[in-house]
Each structure stands twice: as structure tokens, then as C-alpha cells.
């Protein structure tokens, strides 16, 4: 953990009996006229700054970013209450919607609000049904085979693997194949364009949300100009996926009843008479799957491999489980993945310590009281997802990587301060992540492939320092490299 995250300071406790406070009553860092705290918040490390201030000012504090009043909340009970009071009480921020639309992107279930969100949610949930995902499992097996081949080449040549890049290739290929029925193969081609274009969207989106003025409209940077070239390429690919799926359904109408991938299931749901959906909204959710499915799962896997390398006992336990359960690492079954309880516990422990979304901004849709703070309609509330999860006041041995705390037979003292009651890696309430089952399946397949087929020789940055947590809508580890040795056929 980095210094700002692993402080010994404990945030002041929230007193539920305290009188209601207003924005003006809250503590917070001093700002400057008009701009407020905008110049104190560096977007690439915004989450660390917010977490540091939470330890200094308590579970509720105020900020001002340009003209916007913001309340930052770190108390896990209050955060959970806000997440569960969606979509009636809270929505995504209008700032997110404005920037997203200005970038020319169709809206999917991630950014949609109100009745549009309800319609899209029904469609997306139908396509993410575990039964559907299980039918598409052979596609995931094919991507894992390509990952094995890529890492075999790196092991043979003793080449350092750019961990983040390879895992993003894995997640893009998985989403494109399993979700869209598209033959995208970034793992075996350095020429495929879609990943290079996708990677530009979230960083620019995040930076523009924080800017007090839309300077990109007047003085576009090199990154802004690159984004303008990338968005048409991304949308051409997205619309191509939708068109290909519609062509398959037209040629074989039985696919409406037994779709072969998530996109076909979405189209079948959207085409129902009362769905209120069209192909633009389907395209918005294709884009959402590509962006969210690439970054979130890849980042968690990279952090997990790093934390396992730092904790040899946990690495040994995970490796032992994979090799005992899975046998042939090149032919892993869905039933075998279901038995990887310790590997799944490693994923949840990673998400506790290194959540891909350590902050979640929402906006109030009505006057409300959260904790003991009055929030007028339109207030932006930044929910900090990690502060209590790494606090000794709530989680025993909070700074330690202890996957066993997530298992059913966890020790009593761990259960008493269970991370399960504090950590919310997939959110909470009606807007909990619809792709959580698929994400865990992807994670377990990648880890079974890695630990079953290879021995890890090293994981770390080039200079040996801790990887930096870079915030670009999702939290990414910077500079992680991995070296592998392939296990012999006999060793398997």
C-alpha cells in the first residue's frame, strides 16, 4: 500500500445521533476564489488525495471544484446507503453525462439514468444471465489458449511481460469473442487497432470531468486530438459488432431464442415489443462492455498477480489449488473454475486493497440526509470505497493481503470484523455491476492459466519500486512486469 493509503491515522467515527449538518458546516481543505480546490486535486492521483483528506477531515468533508459544491463520503454505511438509494435518490453526475455526450459516445447502462437506465438494465441483465455466460464458455477457453501461446513465447525468450498490456489484450479478446461473437485477436497481433483506440477514452473522460474550464475546446492537447481520431474508429468497430450480430440473427432467427453470445441476447431483448430500446442504445452497451470489461478486470488481475508475488504463502496456496483442481492447464473446464475458492478469495482481497473504482461520484435527485449531513438536490457526492476497507477500526489486519478472510471457514476474529460487510467491489443496490459473474470467471480463468502452465520468476517494476496507482477513471498499476518459466508437460 502507498503511504497515503496506509496511514496509521483513523478517520473520526460517525455519530448517528449527531445533529444534522449542512454543507457550510462541514470541514474541508481551504481553496481559492472561483477555482476552489481544483488545483489541489491532480486527476491521476485524485483518489489518494481524497483518501488523505478523509483521514484528516473525517467521514464527511466538503470540496469545491470550480463552481461545483462537492461532499466527500468515506463512511462505509453511508456509502452503502447512497448506493442502495439508486436510481430514485442518486444518479450518475450530470458532469459525466455532459462530457460523455460531448465526446460523441452513445450512452449505455453505466452512464444512463432514470427510465432509460431501467430499460437498459433489463436488457443487459438478461444478456449477463449466468446461464447465457456458461453457454459461451468455449469462447473464453479459446482466448485462454491464445494467452498461453503468447506467454510461452515470452518465457522461451526470457522476455519481460508488460503485465497490464497483456491482460488488457486478454480482456478485450474475451469481451469481443464471448460477448459479441467477434473474431478480435489482440493477443496474437500487434496491429489490431481497437485496443489502442479504447485506451484513450477513459483517461480523457476522467481528466475533463475534473477540469474547472473546458480548455480542450479552445486549446486541444495532443491527447485531445488523438481522441478525436480514435472515437470514430471505436464507433465503427462497435456498430460493426451490432450489424454482424443482426445479420446472424436475420440468417438464423432461432438465435433470438438461443443466442450464441451476449450481444445477440441483448438484441433479442431489445427487440421485444415493450423494450423501448433501439440499436443506438445497444451500441452504447457494447461500448460500455468494451471499456468496463477491458479496464476493470485487467487492472484487478494485474494487482492480484503483484500482491500474490509479494505474499509467497498466498501464492503457494493459490498455485497448489489450481494444479490440484485443474490438471491440464490448456483444457480448463467451467466446473474446475467453480472449485477455485482460494483463487476467488484472492480476487476479492485484491479488490479490497486495490479497488479499480476507489471513488464513485453520484448526484442527489432530491433533498436528502446521508449519515447526518443534509444534501440539497443536485449535490455531487464522491463516495470513497476504500477508506474503511483498509482501516483497522473495521477490518482485522487491514493492511495485510489475507485471502482466507473471504472463505467460509475464516477464523472467528476475521469474521467478527469481516471485510465482506465493508468492501463493495462491485457496488451495491439496484445498480450493482451486472457483469460481476463474467468478471470473476475471466479472473479465475486467467489465474488458472498462469499458475497452471507457468512458474512465476518475478513480478515488479523496472526500478524495483512499488507500482504507482494511476487514476484514469479506473485505478491502474503503472509499470508492472512479469517473467515466467513454462512448466514441463511432466510437471503438469
pLDDT value of residue 256: 87
pLDDT category of residue 16 using cuts at 50, 70 and 90: low
pLDDT of 273 > 70? The answer is yes
Confidence of residue 193 (pLDDT cuts 50, 70, 90): low
Average pLDDT score over residue span 289-296: 77
In a domain, 492, yes or no: no
Residue 14, in any domain of the structure: no
Nearest to 70 by CA among 381, 472, 391: 381
pLDDT of res. 2? 39
CA distance 197 to 361: 25
Helix (H, G, I), strand (E, B) or coil at 122: helix
Share of the chain above pLDDT 90, in %: 47
**Host domain of residue 474:** 23-486
pLDDT at 201 over 70: yes
Grid cell for residue 219 = 486549446
With a pLDDT cut of 70, the percent of the chain lying above it is 90
Q: What's residue 411's pLDDT? A: 55
Q: Is residue 5 part of a domain?
A: no
CB 437 within 8 A of CB 344: no
CATH code for the domain in which residue 68 is found = 1.10.630.10
Q: Is residue 395 a part of any domain in this protein?
A: yes
Q: What is the pLDDT of residue 126?
A: 65
pTM higher than 0.95, yes or no?
no
Verify cis geometry, omega within 30 degrees of 0, for the bond prior to 455. no
Q: Is the pLDDT of residue 67 over 90?
A: no
Tell me whether residue 491 is in a domain. Answer: no
Mean pLDDT of 30-46: 90
Give the confidence band of 138 by pLDDT, cuts at 50, 70, 90: confident
Contact 421, 397 (CB under 8 A): no
Question: Across residues 370-381, what is the average pLDDT?
Answer: 94
Angle in degrees, CA 80, 86, 88, rounded to 5: 135
Question: What is residue 185's predicted lDDT score, i.e. its pLDDT?
Answer: 75
CA nearest neighbour of 282 among 235, 228, 250, 329: 235
Average pLDDT taken over every residue of the chain:
85
pLDDT at 74 over 70: yes
**CA 117 from centroid of its chain's CA atoms:** 19
Kind plus residue range of the DSSP H or E element containing 439 = helix 436-453
Q: Is residue 277 part of a domain?
A: yes
Over residues 2-7, mean pLDDT? 38
Distance CA 35, CA 212 (A): 7
DSSP per-residue string spanning 360-425: EEEEESS-EEETTEEE-TT-EEEEESSTGGG-TTTSTTTTS--GGGGSTT--HHHHHT-GGGT--T
**pLDDT-based confidence at residue 112 (cuts at 50, 70, 90):** low
Average pLDDT over residues 367-381: 94
- Whether residue 259 has pLDDT greater than 90: no
The per-residue pLDDT for 343 is 97
Q: Is residue 18 part of a domain?
A: no
Lowest mean pLDDT among 88-102, 305-319, 473-487: 88-102
Task: Report the range of poorest mean pLDDT among 249-258, 274-283, 306-315, 457-466.
Answer: 274-283
Q: Could you tell me if residue 275 is inside a domain?
A: yes
Our count of domains for the chain comes to: 1
Amino acid at each position: 500500500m502507498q503511504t497515503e493509503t496506509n496511514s496509521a491515522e483513523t478517520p473520526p467515527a460517525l455519530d448517528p445521533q449527531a445533529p444534522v449538518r449542512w454543507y457550510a458546516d462541514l470541514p474541508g481543505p481551504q481553496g481559492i476564489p472561483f477555482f476552489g480546490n481544483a488545483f489541489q486535486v491532480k486527476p491521476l492521483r485524485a483518489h489518494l488525495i481524497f483518501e488523505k483528506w478523509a483521514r484528516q477531515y473525517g467521514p464527511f468533508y466538503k470540496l469545491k471544484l470550480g463552481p461545483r459544491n462537492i461532499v466527500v463520503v468515506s463512511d462505509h454505511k453511508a456509502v452503502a446507503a447512497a448506493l442502495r438509494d439508486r436510481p430514485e435518490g442518486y444518479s450518475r453526475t450530470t458532469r459525466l453525462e455532459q462530457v460523455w455526450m460531448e465526446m460523441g459516445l452513445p450512452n449505455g447502462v453505466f452512464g444512463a439514468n432514470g427510465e432509460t437506465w431501467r430499460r437498459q438494465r433489463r436488457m443487459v441483465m438478461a444478456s449477463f444471465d449466468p446461464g447465457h455466460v456458461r453457454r459461451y464458455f468455449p469462447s473464453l477457453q479459446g482466448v485462454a489458449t491464445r494467452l498461453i501461446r503468447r506467454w510461452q513465447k515470452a518465457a522461451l525468450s526470457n522476455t519481460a511481460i508488460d503485465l497490464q498490456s497483456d491482460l488488457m489484450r486478454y480482456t478485450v479478446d474475451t469481451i469481443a469473442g464471448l460477448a459479441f461473437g467477434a473474431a478480435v485477436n489482440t493477443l496474437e497481433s500487434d496491429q489490431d487497432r481497437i485496443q489502442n483506440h479504447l485506451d484513450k477514452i477513459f483517461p480523457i473522460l476522467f481528466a475533463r470531468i475534473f477540469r474547472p474550464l473546458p480548455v480542450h475546446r479552445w486549446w486541444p492537447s495532443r491527447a485531445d486530438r488523438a481522441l478525436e481520431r480514435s472515437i470514430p474508429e471505436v464507433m465503427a468497430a462497435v456498430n460493426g459488432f451490432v450489424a454482424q450480430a443482426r445479420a446472424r440473427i436475420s440468417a438464423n432467427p432461432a438465435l433470438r431464442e438461443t443466442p450464441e453470445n451476449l450481444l445477440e441476447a441483448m438484441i433479442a431483448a431489445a427487440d421485444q415489443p415493450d423494450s423501448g430500446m433501439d440499436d443506438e442504445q445497444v451500441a452504447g452497451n457494447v461500448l460500455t462492455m468494451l471499456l468496463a470489461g477491458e479496464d476493470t478486470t485487467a487492472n484487478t488481475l494485474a494487482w492480484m498477480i503483484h500482491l500474490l508475488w509479494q505474499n509467497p504463502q498466498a501464492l503457494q496456496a493459490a498455485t497448489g489449488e489450481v494444479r490440484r483442481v485443474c490438471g491440464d492447464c490448456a483444457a480448463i473446464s467451467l466446473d474446475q473454475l467453480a472449485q477455485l475458492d482460494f483463487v476467488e478469495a484472492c480476487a476479492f482481497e485484491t479488490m479490497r486493497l486495490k479497488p479499480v473504482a476507489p471513488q464513485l461520484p453520484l448526484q442527489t435527485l432530491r433533498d436528502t440526509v446521508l449519515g447526518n449531513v443534509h444534501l440539497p438536490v443536485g449535490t455531487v457526492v464522491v463516495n470513497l470505497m476504500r477508506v474503511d476497507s483498509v482501516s483497522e477500526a473495521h477490518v482485522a489486519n487491514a493492511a495485510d493481503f489475507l485471502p482466507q478472510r473471504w472463505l467460509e471457514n475464516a477464523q472467528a476474529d476475521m469474521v467478527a470484523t469481516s471485510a465482506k460487510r465493508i468492501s463493495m467491489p462491485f457496488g451495491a443496490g439496484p445498480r450493482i455491476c451486472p457483469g460481476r459473474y463474467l468478471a470473476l470467471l475471466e479472473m479465475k480463468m486467467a489465474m488458472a492459466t498462469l499458475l497452471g502452465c507457468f512458474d512465476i520468476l518475478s513480478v515488479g517494476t523496472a526500478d524495483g519500486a512499488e507500482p504507482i496507482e494511476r487514476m484514469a477513471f479506473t485505478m491502474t498499476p503503472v509499470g508492472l512486469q512479469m517473467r515466467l518459466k513454462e512448466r514441463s508437460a511432466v510437471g503438469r
